[in-house]
Amino acid sequence: MTELLFVSISEGKYMHRLPSAFEFQTSAETLRAHHWRSYTDTYKGCEFECQYCLYKGPGEYGRHVQPVKGSIPARADLGIVDIGTTTDPYQPMEADQKITRSILEAALEIRIPLFVLTRGNLVLRDVDLLRELAKDGLVEVCLSIITLNEAITTRIEPNAPSPTERLRVAEELAAKDIPVAFHVAPLIPGLDTPENLSAFGKRLAEACGSHVFSAMLGARKPYWKPFYAGMDAIADACGSFETFERAYPRDFDFSRDAAGTCDFEYALPALTPLRDGVTEGGATYVSENYPFLTTGPLENGIYRWKLPTVYDMSSWVQARGGVVEWPDFLDWYRDFRPSDRLVELVKSLWDNGELFLGTYLARQGTGYTGGGELMLPAHHTLVAKRTPVA
């Protein structure tokens, strides 16, 4: 009897229907950065105690961390499950609790694809399971990192593995054929010089060889005071708080929303060198900021919100009226600086008809046109096997 230790899996409110039958690495879903339909956290709270943590609040932070256990029936319609959206799945207590490991085991058994986000080097313990998942295209590991400057990280990520260690983890995973990416989160204006950010992006690209996501620091109204105290510690570590304070003033304007990031004019000086370094290193750069907004126009060579998702692509095709052929699509898509590897992936999905599954486009010859029926998978290979709970 296998006990399922899945924590309750929540369905994100911004999500859309995801096809579930694709091999992970060639799935259109990997292009949709941040549009995960399902996510789970294996712990309530986090022992890494990062100063900038968005979930810093009474009773849900630091050493009061408690593992979360529960069970759910295996479901075929979860799509890719994102582990580690709010608390780290490989924080120290996982060494004993093994809750994250139990999820990997269950996912392998019932064939659910996982995206694992962590700062923890303990992820290497599970290489055996990750390799098995990777063989079937069912996993990607994403290392979260904010800078290579260890003088800063020892102050603001006191219990997390060093950036050097996280680079080593990524390289080790990649060497074992486990897909790996980086998540620069939070990207904090003023933390690094433009030169350092560029070198940082390049180093990450070289270590993972695939893609680097970034997300600007998020501000949350309920936690703003303790959060800003953490930012003061960052200021001490950086020696200057000016850039940060301009981007995130103490009296941050939450009138539009209880959650927010800095205005784009402050984000751009950090996004630009990071993007340049990542693309120079041969990986794709994906800015995930403001993922709930439309993509908007290119500004100074930076796509304002994010790399186009499949739905952005389909909107673009629909807006063109007639049939859109690949060369025209490619001209538009190249503006966003995708890596050659990503262009190759998009082209293969364009050709085999998977790129626009779940959207209202119709295939016509070698192109696509708007106003079609909802495109559904032609085949459905993911069969969820219900595992008995002890």
Binding site for ligand SF4 (CB under 6 A): 46, 48-50, 53, 55, 87-88, 119, 160
44 or 363: CB nearest ligand SF4: 44
4 or 46: CB nearest ligand SF4: 46
Least separation in angstroms between residue 185's CB and ligand SF4 is 8
List Cβ<8 Å contacts ≥24 apart for 360-369: 360/314, 360/318, 361/314, 361/317, 361/318, 364/323, 365/323, 366/325, 366/326, 367/323, 367/324, 367/325, 367/326, 368/317, 368/323, 368/324, 369/317, 369/322, 369/323, 369/324
Residue by residue, DSSP assigns 277-333 as HHHHTT-EEEE-SSTTS----EETTEESS-SPPHHHHHHHHHHT-SPBPHHHHHHHH
Least separation in angstroms between residue 250's CB and ligand SF4 is 21
Least separation in angstroms between residue 140's CB and ligand SF4 is 18
Least separation in angstroms between residue 288's CB and ligand SF4 is 15
219 or 302: CB nearest ligand SF4: 219
213 or 333: CB nearest ligand SF4: 213
Residue 236, CA atoms < 13 Å, CB-side half-sphere: 11
Least separation in angstroms between residue 67's CB and ligand SF4 is 14
Cβ atoms of 186 and 52 closer than 8 Å:
yes
27 or 118: CB nearest ligand SF4: 118
63 or 386: CB nearest ligand SF4: 63
Q: What are phi and psi of 385, to 5 degrees?
A: -105, 120
Angle at Cα 8 formed by Cα 5 and Cα 13, nearest 5°? 150
Least separation in angstroms between residue 322's CB and ligand SF4 is 47
93 or 361: CB nearest ligand SF4: 93
Instruction: Tell me how far apart the 2 most distant CA atoms of the chain are, in Å.
Output: 60
60 or 171: CB nearest ligand SF4: 60
Q: E-strand spans in the chain? A: 10-11, 38-40, 43-44, 66-67, 81-83, 114-118, 139-145, 180-187, 211-216, 219-220, 259-260, 284-287, 298-299, 302-303, 361-364, 367-370
Tracing tokens 């898509």 back to the chain, one arrives at 333
Nearest to 119 by CA among 178, 169, 155: 169
CA distance linking residue 257 with residue 199, whole number of Å: 34
Least separation in angstroms between residue 54's CB and ligand SF4 is 7
88 or 94: CB nearest ligand SF4: 88
Helix (H/G/I), strand (E/B), else coil: 92: coil
Q: How far is CA 211 from CA 140, 159, 245, 288, 366, in A?
A: 11, 26, 30, 12, 28
Least separation in angstroms between residue 56's CB and ligand SF4 is 7
Helix (H/G/I), strand (E/B), else coil: 276: helix
Least separation in angstroms between residue 118's CB and ligand SF4 is 8
Least separation in angstroms between residue 321's CB and ligand SF4 is 45
48 or 350: CB nearest ligand SF4: 48
